[in-house]
Structure 1
Amino acid sequence: MKTILAAYSGVLRGTGSSILSSLKDLPATPWLSRSKMEKQLQMISVLQWILSFLAMGAACTALLVYLFCTDLWVIAAMYFAWLIFDWNTPKEGGRRSSWVRNWAMWTYFRDYFPIRLIKTHDLLPSRNYIFGYHPHGIFCFGAFCNFGTEATGFSKKFPKIKPSLATLAGNFRMPVLRDYLMSGGICPVNRNSIDYLLSRSGTGNAVVIVVGGAAESLDCAPGKNSVTLKSRKGFIKLALQQGADLVPVYSFGENEVYKQVIFEEGSWWRFAQKRLQKLVGFAPCVFHGCGLFSSDSVGLVPYCKPITTVVGEPITVPKFEEPSQDVVDLYHAMYIKSLKNLFDKYKTRFGLKESDSLLIQ
């Protein structure tokens, strides 16, 4: 157990040498082989992200309230004062940390599935970009690993391009969680934040928007290739107003890592899901993966299915202060065509059949 803790502490610190040395010290027993140890570290790395996303904000909020009721209230008061002072930072470019983005822990996260990033075209540092990421999946593992960390080498593949993954603005109202997200270059998915990155932060910025959002997550399931895009035109209008090029991105395998119960349209459960989605901003999906100690059991751990994220060809977008609806519709149609072409070109390389098609909902 001490060896496991020593290895994982190295994962958090980003010190690969300490991890390897700890693994070499493992006793020669079947249940503690090096390969099994690496698999456990990969699983822990994935689980810490899931639990951080689901529970860190609520847990830290509860802790802050509790500290206010103890002799340590000064610490809570100081943090609360800092929170007020720093409130607008997430929508003003955030506070990314190259050290956090390069943690060795993220390479274990990457290798669990594994996750790969495929570059198809160069991106010019003299331009700004809006990446449309599809599909949402349950936890957007591909989006986070590729654009919220350096585990798949984004900065090396796209030099001088700075990615900012946009997610629910509500996450940035949560103490500690907001700082954790910002350290990875993650920003709120609202107009103010995206406008700032595309207009007041120079060039070479790439804002990554998961276009289908929470609504799309309700329909994700293994073997299903559908995206929620027909009525999603806000990001197109934003790109036109800022003169930011549009880049379609598709992650093959994102829908394969969890099994979900999909309720029929018109059912009470479907109505409840959509109602809660509007109230809290995310969809309460009924899903499962495998257990912590066995792939045959049911649990929160995602299945080990490869996720390959393909970054498509940029669509050059002119700048319009107030684009007409016809112009928005034109570029929306161009974007859909480009996304379909990207899907069709790479689908057979990553496990799909030639007859499979992308459904636009």
Structure 2
Amino acid sequence: MLLRVTGSSQVQQFLIPLTQSIYTLIDANMVRKIPIPSALIVRGMNLIYTGAYIILKPLGLAPAANAFLSGGLFGLLLLPVTAIYSIVYILREFILPAEGLWHDAVIYSVWGFVVWYLLSIIMDDAHCRVDDTCFRTPQNHFDRQAYELFKELFDYFPITCVPYSEKVTQQLATMDKQYVAGVHPHGIHCFPLTLLASPDTPFDQQFPGLVSGSAKTPKHPFTGLAATIMFKIPVVREFFLVFGYIDASRHVADAALDAGKSIFVVTGGEEESMYATSTGSGGQEDILVLKNRKGFVRLALKHGASLLPIFGVGNNDTFVRYNFAMGFRQWIQKTFKIALPIFHGRFFTPLPYHTPIKVIVGEPIHVPKPTDTNAKPDEKLVNEYHQKYIEALKEIHAKFADRPLRIV
């Protein structure tokens, strides 16, 4: 139907990028090398996102659609599962013969790809490499349209980026420092993270030349740290790989800083998501799991990287969290490192509430230059700068937030 009602020039506009996408399924120019099945998954997801963007943008629904996908991050797996099941169903019911060589070859090929993909997840080490990590710049029409859909997220809440003082703008403008940025709070989802992972975000507009893919070439591009489990969840892993995240293990973070990159991390991790404080029981305070989290300070001292405190005011209000069986769920989290927050958004769905998120970038805390990068930082120095970092966060929170802050 599309070909019959569309003019030849419009057909060309559709077919040319489609052809380019087919020829670049395995992109030789892709900076970050990922397994072939992952590259195919990325292309397939971008096709889906492009179609969604073309349909939803004119209707004004693109921001809500992206917020829904982001809120239900782990539900991303449903999209390719649905797509694969639909393909197999259509092939069997309408295209392939009921049985025979062609039927078996095609169906077994589809399931063969699924097995290949799952094995590649187990074998792949892309999340542990730092030499080729960066935001994956859109390569073609569908990549660009999919990225446009991603950027709609910033308009949904909306998300803005505010420097704590003029001093912040002046210091970050030099681009000559390495940073270890702590991002707070985790909330159910840490939406402020999205600002540092790619270009054309409110953070990149405020501080151009710091993030990977920025119009200004970054000297020490930001690279995000994510828990290992994120790279083992089908489809979710591709999201983190595309945005340049690496494994949050100590040796990988060390390697990233050795390579001259800056890093950012939610220091409270999955445990902090259990304390997201817009609750069904009416709790209203911001809680940070930070009292005993000093690893990021040790990294900064070891490499002479400045500490950069970042706080997303309003991030805890994007969902409602419930305290039901909290003691049991905290035991699971501490024992198995698996967080089980019970929450909902608008209409009892993963759609976040319309809550403005103001991401405050604090003043950098410069640390002394290390005399021996192979030596462990002195614990007294670690404690000193850890306390300085906590005090800086408290000052940020007191100036911009309207509720108490508790450090646990």
- Choose the corresponding residue for 2:391, options 337, 351, 354: 337
Instruction: Report if aligned partners of 2:179, 2:305 keep a CA contact under 8 Å in 1.
Output: yes
1:213 aligns with 2:252: no
Counterparts of 1:77 and 1:10, CA distance in 2? 22
- The corresponding residue for 1:307 is 357
Change in Cα spacing, 1:81 to 1:285, as seen in structure 2 (3 Å) is closer
Structure 2: gaps spanning 5 or more residues: 3-13, 15-45, 89-104, 210-217, 279-283
Return the offset for 1:151. 4.8
In the alignment, which residue of structure 1 is the partner of 2:150?
Answer: 106
Following the alignment from structure 2 to structure 1, what is the Cα–Cα distance between the partners of residues 188 and 356? 15
Identify if the C-alpha distance between structure 1 residues 63 and 289 changes in structure 2 by more than 3 Å, giving closer, same or farther.
closer
Residue in structure 2 matching 1:346, options 400, 405, 408: 400
Distance in 2, matches of 1:96 and 1:312, equals: 24
Contact 2:184 2:267 in 1 (8 A): yes
Whether 1:232 and 2:284 are equivalent positions in the alignment is no
**1: CA distance, partners of 2:294 / 2:238:** 30
TM-score by length of 2: 0.68
Q: Helix, strand or coil: the match of 1:103?
A: helix
* Partner SS state of residue 336, structure 1: helix
CA distance in structure 1 between the partners assigned to 2:327 and 2:186 by the alignment? 20
**1:131, 1:208 within 8 Å by CA — same for their partners in 2?**
yes
**SS of 1:301 mapped into structure 2:** coil
CA offsets per residue over residues 339-361 of structure 1, 9 Å max, x none? 112222333xxxx2xxx442222
Q: 1:84 to 1:284 in 2, by over 3 A?
A: closer
SS in 1 for 2:162: strand
Alpha-carbon spacing, 1:304–1:62, altered in 2? closer, same or farther (3 Å): closer
Deviation at 1:60, TM superposition (A): 6.3
Give the match for residue 125 of structure 1: 175
The one-letter code matched in structure 2 to 1:248 is: P
**Structure 1 residues 168 and 81: alpha-carbon distance in aligned structure 2, compared to 1, 3 A threshold:** closer
Superposed counterparts of 1:184-263, under 5 Å: 184-200=243-259, 202=260, 205-222=261-278, 223-263=284-324
Paired with 2:351 and 2:188, the residues of 1 have a C-alpha distance of 12
**Counterpart code for 1:75:** F
Distance 1:194 1:58, change over 3 A: farther
- Measured after TM superposition, the shift of residue 19 of structure 1 is 7.1
Is the alpha carbon distance of 1:300 and 1:15 closer, same or farther for their aligned partners in structure 2, counting shifts above 3 Å?
A: closer
1:210–1:281 Cα change, 3 Å: same
Q: C-alpha distance in 1, partners of 2:250/2:83? A: 31
Percent identity over paired residues: 26
| 1:150 maps onto 2:168 in alignment | no
Equivalent residue number for residue 141 of structure 1: 191
Aligned to 2:307, what secondary structure does the other structure show? strand
**Which residue matches 2:113?**
75
Per-residue CA deviations over 1:2-53 (Å, capped at 9, x if unaligned) read 9xxx9xx99934999x679x72xxxxxxxxxxxxx31x321111122233x3
Following the alignment from structure 1 to structure 2, what is the Cα–Cα distance between the partners of residues 163 and 90?
15
State the alpha-carbon separation in 2 of the partners of residues 19 and 61 from structure 1.
22
**CA distance in 2: counterparts of 1:148 and 1:169, whole angstroms:** 17
Counterpart CA distance in 2 for 1:88 and 1:46 is: 29
Instruction: Find the aligned partners of 1:128 and 1:212 in 2 and give their Cα distance.
Output: 21
- In the alignment, structure 1 segments of 5+ residues that lack a partner are 24-36, 264-268, 292-297
Kept after mapping to 1: 8 A contact 2:228/2:247: yes
Which residue, out of 163, 167, 177, partners 2:226? 167
SS at match of 2:390: helix
Alignment of 1:49-60 (within 5 A): 49-51=70-72, 53-56=73-76
RMSD value, Cα: 3.5
AA aligned to 1:116 is T
**2:240 is the counterpart of 1:181:** yes
Using the alignment, how far apart are the partners of 1:180 and 1:170 within structure 2? 13
- How far apart are 1:62 and its partner, in Å? 11
Shift of 1:181: 1.2
Matched, 1:90 2:111: no
Contact 1:115 1:152 in 2 (8 A): no
d(CA) in 1 for partners of 2:389, 2:184:
12
Assess if the C-alpha contact under 8 Å between 1:14 and 1:105 holds in 2: no
Residue type matched to 2:294 in 1? Answer: K
Query: Do 2:306 and 2:365's aligned partners in 1 also have CA atoms closer than 8 Å?
Result: yes
Q: What is the CA deviation profile of residues 294-350 of structure 1, one whole-angstrom value per residue up to 9, with x for unaligned ones?
A: xxxx22211100001111111112225211211111111111111112222333xxx
2:62 to 27, 41, 62: 41
Q: Which residue number in structure 1 is paired with residue 406 of structure 2?
A: 359
CA contact (8 A) 1:136 1:213 kept: yes
Give the Å deviation of 1:132.
0.8
